Amino acid sequence: MRKKINPKLIKDIGNTIPGGITGIGVMTKYVNNWDAIESFAKNHAVYTAMDVRNLIAENSPIKKIGFANLELVRIVDEEIKKSKVAFHTAALTHFRELCVLSGIDPNTVNMGANWMQLQKKKDKRLQQKSFADKMYPKNYTKVIDNLKARYNRVLESNPNAYKEWCIQNKKNRQIISDVRSMIKLLDKKHNQK
């Protein structure tokens, strides 16, 4: 059975098709072809890949949500479904990745009293409270509260956009690999201190 094309979509894309092309089948092949986008962009004075990226970023339907927040929700959701755990546990499992996605250096987060005692054994400078507060200014519970607020905001305000984004980006793990490489760089920088 053939998939029906929405008449509104046909009307919307009608302005983008050159005058010589006729027929719905040919039109959808032209519109759905990634190779045709390059010539279409050049015809409309968008000449470089960076111009296309900027145009997409400025007019993205998920601009308000933010791709980092969507990725954050996906990481937590996958962990909750896989391990059947609560949000807090899922967030702690992927804490370093979630920190980077929310713009926090995970090496500056105080992970609690027991963790601090272990750090003090490793580094004698941390015996001074002022130095310890300077090295680890953020408390992990507040970071998790912030992550939970982001998580809830995305799921409450735009659940359909999130679900559609997950379906379309099911195999796209580029952001996660970028985040992990960023963590390696941050760790290397932190260890040089």
Instruction: Judge if 52 and 130 occupy the same domain.
Output: no
Instruction: Judge if 23 and 50 occupy the same domain.
Output: yes
Instruction: Judge if 74 and 110 occupy the same domain.
Output: yes
Going residue by residue through the chain, which has 193 residues, state the pLDDT in tens, using 9 for 90 and above.
555 556 655 555 555 555 544 555 555 666 667 777 777 777 777 778 788 888 877 887 777 888 889 999 999 999 999 999 999 999 999 999 999 999 888 888 887 877 777 777 877 777 777 777 777 778 889 999 999 999 999 999 888 888 988 898 888 888 888 889 998 998 888 888 6
Number of folded domains that form the chain: 2
What is the Cα–Cα distance from 52 to 50, expressed in whole angstroms?
Answer: 5
Residue 2 lies in a domain: no
Residue 174 lies in a domain: yes
Start-end of H helices in the chain: 7-14, 24-31, 34-43, 49-59, 67-83, 87-93, 95-101, 113-122, 129-135, 140-157, 159-168, 174-191
* Owning domain of residue 54: 7-59
Instruction: Judge if 22 and 116 occupy the same domain.
Output: no
Instruction: Judge if 33 and 122 occupy the same domain.
Output: no
Instruction: Judge if 50 and 72 occupy the same domain.
Output: no
